[in-house]
A and B are shown apart, each in its own frame.
Chain A
Amino acid sequence: MSLAAPRSLRRRVSDLLYLRPRFLLLLLLLPPLLWMGILYLGSLFNLMLYSFYSLNDFTGQVEYRFSLSAFKQLFSSAANVDIVLRTTLMALAVTLACAVIAFPIAYYIAFYTRGSARAFWYLMVLLPLWSSYLIKVYAWRLILAGEGVVSWFFNALGLGWLLQGVLSLPVIGGTSLSNSYLGMFLVFTYIWLPYMILPIIAALERVPRSLIQASSDLGARPRQTFWKVVWPLSIPGVAAGSIFTFSLTLGDYIIPQVVGQPGFFIGQMVYVQQGTAGNLPLAAAFSVVPVVIIAIYLLIVRRMGAFNAL
């Protein structure tokens, strides 16, 4: 081809992209950034704005003027503060339980399986994670109901009195497991558990095997090796998992609705305020609460190296 031959348009565009990489970068990033930056971040920003608007008591319309009345309404009512506390405590309890149950599972998969066996167990953690959220919650309603699986099991073992005893406890008890905070706690723990297992596996897989050998060569007993070598190195994984268990519990409104007691959770409050109550500013103010709590939480776990394990 002679140099003088006219280049096709396609060729020219191609050369332009090759010679001006910045232009290509712009071309690649612009559409997704517009989507995420304007549509998504913009929406979040708009939500924040709404929390500084107020509701006109007479017309029931949102007044687009700066006001702190939504936040005032939120924090001046003891019931609302209770909702925030209740949700946060539940999120912490669920996170702790998830970590305790997830760790041995992750430890086993990371250290005692390899090859196709590991792929299999990995998939066995993934499947419950990916199976429908609603259906899992629904399954727990079947399991925890008064006439359901758990009651049957306790009665069959002659331990019905034990279950009744637990249910009669204040705070965590209720008329049946499906109407108690204990039941809700179980369901939350179950639903978010895989989110904790996976990052811990990832963290444990990164622990150099030579370090463990060196530790035992130097005379450490397995227990010492675990606490002094393996555990500190797995903390980022646990912290990363806890971001999900914590944040997801804070915002969920379906589990408290399906299983649990009448006491509201943050998510339910957001849902009710935007829907039936029609108070968007208050709903927005309520939805700012988990953002602030999560931001504080992130600041804490960042120091534990959570972001490197995500």
Chain B
Amino acid sequence: MPNKPSLSLRIAFIVGMLFLHFPILVIVLYAFTTEDRTYQFPPPGLTLKWFGEAFERQDMWRALLLSLEVAGMATAIALVLGTMVAAAIYRFEFRGKDLVTALLILPIALPGILTGIALLTTFKRLAIEPSFWTIVIGHATFCMVTVYNNVVARFRRTGHSQLEASMDLGADWLSTWRFVVLPSIATALLAGGMLSFALSFDEVIVTTFTAADQKTLPIWFLNELFRPRERPVTNVVAVFVMLITFLPIVLAQWLTRDTDDLHGGGKTS
């Protein structure tokens, strides 16, 4: 490996990076376009009017609220269950350890449509009506691994010794958890929680199968895509959603910046 990247490597890197970010810039640009019928490029003029229009749309607000509720609930469940698995995996050696982690990864390694239709057929069979809670169940299932990844990475960096010291000094389990374990994994929990929130907030495929007529924001967005009422409003909401998801990602990155592992590196890993 020479000290300086070759010209062709540099070009491939820059072109690749532009490819990754160009579509996001396009969305931002289109949120300001004055053209509301076609996808004309370049936009004939720029305006702020669509931001006001989007703000007025009650259906958008309802969808946003539902998405926040679903993501909040799914994240809460994922936080509890994911942390439990992480603690068990870190603390104990047992048979089938790899199987447990594989089981957690499965919902995101397999295509989302499988999780969706599997849950749907099961709900149908058990005569469970799709509702807010069936959406939450679907989301929590694939959010668990995100929390697990972040927390287990943090656990691995904090040795067993602190725990034992605390118990030796007379603290019981509850106090040890409260004063030793929880503070040391707090930022990992926060990071895992935020990533899981973002994941749920953006989920559309599993939701399509597990929802009745509830419209989360991505479902609302999908409807607008095919039957748009006002096309530029869709663009504005797109920018808005991006801002909502970017913030937790950047924060989560920052919170776990001193962790060596590529924790939660992808939505998947």
Which residues of A come within 8 Å of B, CB atoms?
Answer: 10-11, 13-15, 17-18, 21, 24-25, 28-29, 31-33, 35-37, 39-44, 46-47, 50, 101-102, 104-105, 107-109, 111-112, 119, 121-136, 138-143, 145, 147-149, 151-152, 190, 193-195, 198-199, 201-202, 209, 212, 216, 222, 225, 230, 243-244, 247-248, 250-254, 258, 267, 270-271, 274, 280, 283-284, 287, 290-291, 294, 310
Closest to A131 in B: B242
Q: Is A198's CB under 8 angstroms from B265's CB? A: yes
Structural contact, B39 and A141, CB atoms closer than 8 A:
yes
Q: Are A247 and B267 in contact (CB under 8 A)?
A: no
Contacts of A127 in B (CB 8 A): 21, 24, 246, 249-250
Chain B residues whose C-beta falls within 8 Å of the C-beta of A148 in the assembled complex: 39-41
Q: Is the CB of B266 within 8 A of A243?
A: no
User: Which of A10, A25, A126, A151 is within 8 Å of B174, CB to CB?
Assistant: A10
In the assembled complex, how far is the CB of residue B159 from the closest CB belonging to chain A, in whole angstroms?
17
Q: Contact check: which of B27, B94, B167 meets A142 at CB < 8 Å?
A: B27
Complex interface: chain A residues within 8 A of B125 (CB): 46
Q: Are B269 and A124 in contact (CB under 8 A)?
A: no
Inter-subunit contact B1/A230 (CB<8 Å): yes
The binding surface of chain B is classed by DSSP as helix
Query: Which one of B26, B110, B119 contacts A143 once the chains associate, using CB atoms below 8 Å?
Result: B26
How many contacting A-B pairs (Cβ < 8 A)? 267
Interface residues on B, range: 35 or more
A124-B17, A243-B109, A254-B222 known; A42 and B5 CB under 8 Å? no
9 contacts between A and B (CB under 8 A): A17-B173, A29-B85, A47-B114, A50-B121, A108-B10, A130-B195, A147-B41, A152-B41, A222-B1
Bound CA–CA A152/B137 (angstroms): 45
CB closest chain-A residue, reference B225: A138
B106 sits at the interface (CB 8 A): yes
B84 touches A32 (CB 8 A): yes
Do the beta carbons of A138 and B27 come within 8 Å of each other? Answer: yes
**B52 in the interface (beta carbon within 8 A):** no
Q: Tell me, rounded to whole Å, the shortest Cβ–Cβ distance linking A29 to chain B.
A: 5
Residues from chain A with Cβ under 8 Å of B169 in the complex: none
CB of A46 within 8 A of CB of B113, answer no
Closest 4 CB pairs of A and B: A251-B111, A104-B12, A14-B172, A139-B23
Does B66 touch A at the CB level, under 8 Å? no
B218 near A132 with CB under 8 A, answer yes
| Cβ–Cβ < 8 Å partners of B106 in chain A | 36, 40
Give the chain B neighbours of A124 by CB distance below 8 A.
17, 20-21
Contact pick for A46, options B19, B104, B118, B202, CB 8 Å: B118
CB distance from A139 to the nearest CB of B (A): 4
List of A residues within 8 angstroms of B208 by Cβ = 271
Contacts of B76 in A (CB 8 A): none
Contact call A29/B84, Cβ cutoff below 8 A: yes
B residues less than 8 Å from A46 (CB atoms)? 118, 121-122, 125
CA distance A108 to B15 in the complex (A): 12
Which residues of B lie under 8 Å from residue A152 when comparing CB positions?
41-42
Q: Kindly identify, within residues 240 to 269 of chain B, every residue whose CB is under 8 Å from any CB belonging to chain A.
A: 241-242, 245-246, 249-250, 253, 257, 262, 265-269
| A18-B167, A36-B103, A131-B246 as given contacts; A291 in contact with B110, CB under 8 Å | yes
Q: Could you tell me the distance between the alpha carbons of A110 and B265 in the complex, rounded to whole angstroms? A: 14
Nearest CB in chain B to that of A128: its residue: B20
Judge whether A43 and B121 touch: CB under 8 Å. yes
Q: Let me know if B30 is at the binding interface, CB within 8 A.
A: yes
Taking the nearest CB of chain B, how far is it from the CB of A232, in angstroms? 15
CB nearest neighbor in B for A137? B225
Say yes or no for B63: interface residue by CB 8 A criterion.
no
Report whether A287 and B113 are in contact in the complex, using a CB–CB cutoff of 8 Å. yes
B192 at the interface (CB under 8 A from A): no
Report whether B111 and A248 are in contact in the complex, using a CB–CB cutoff of 8 Å: yes
Residues of B within 8 A of A126 (CB): 249, 253, 265
Whether B114 pairs with A287 at a CB distance below 8 angstroms is yes
Complex alpha-carbon distance, A284 and B209, angstroms: 13
| CB closest residue in chain A, given B103 | A36
> Does B88 make an interface contact (CB < 8 A)?
yes
Task: Provide the residues of chain B in CB contact with A143, threshold 8 Å.
Answer: 22-23, 26
Determine the distance from Cα of A141 to Cα of B87 in the docked complex, in whole angstroms: 44
B17 CB contacts on chain A under 8 angstroms? 105, 121, 124
Q: A40-B141, A133-B202, A138-B27 are in contact. List 13 more A-B contacts (CB 8 A).
A: A10-B172, A14-B173, A40-B115, A46-B125, A101-B16, A108-B9, A108-B13, A134-B218, A136-B23, A147-B39, A190-B19, A195-B267, A198-B266
